[in-house]
Amino acid sequence: MNNTSTFIETKEYKRFAEFCDACIKYRYMGVCYGLPGVGKTLSSRYYANWDYLEKQISYRHSESIGVHADEKIFDCHTLFYTAPAVSASRMTNEIGLIDSKLNMVKAVYQSMVTEEEPQFTVNSFEGINLLIIDEIDRLKLQSLE
């Protein structure tokens, strides 16, 4: 299930969100674990508002960049990424690409609002204060580090 519209903010979710907040505040690298199905993936996506962001960064043509964005885009400071089952070497590039695409959407949407030229920042992770990686058990120790 990827649709967070039916997501319930359980006690466990609130603890997870507090943990994420603490990671941001104290610049921790945290690890969350739990039995299959307890809601790790769904909680992460909900915290990152990923259903919304995924839609924003899934554009295929430059004309569609930012057309579905709204002010909420500026409140998004967390990236969500699922570790690849194979070939962890692409991980860094893929995370960089997600960041660049989000920056692109923010810049284009900002320029729509201000009617000024968009200011692009590439691979900067500007405005990103947390990166959540799901399924890290797929990674070898080297990639995890």
Burial of residue 72 (number of CB atoms within 10 Å: 0-12, 13-18, 19+): exposed
Q: Which does 36 bind (CB under 5 to 8 A by kind): ligand ATP, Mg ion, none?
A: ligand ATP
- The rounded distance, in Å, linking the Cα atoms of 115 and 109 is 10
Largest Cα–Cα distance in the chain?
49
Q: What is the closest distance, in whole angstroms, from the C-beta atom of residue 134 to ligand ATP in the complex? A: 7
DSSP 62: G
Applying CB under 6 A, among 38, 95, 131, 139 the residue interacting with ligand ATP is 38
Interface positions, 40-99, toward ligand ATP (CB under 6 A)? 40-42
- Paired tokens of 140: 């070898």
Asked if residue 78 binds Mg ion (CB under 5 A), the reply is no
Taking CB under 6 A as the binding criterion, the range among 20-28, 39-47, 96-104, 110-118 that sits at the site for ligand ATP is 39-47
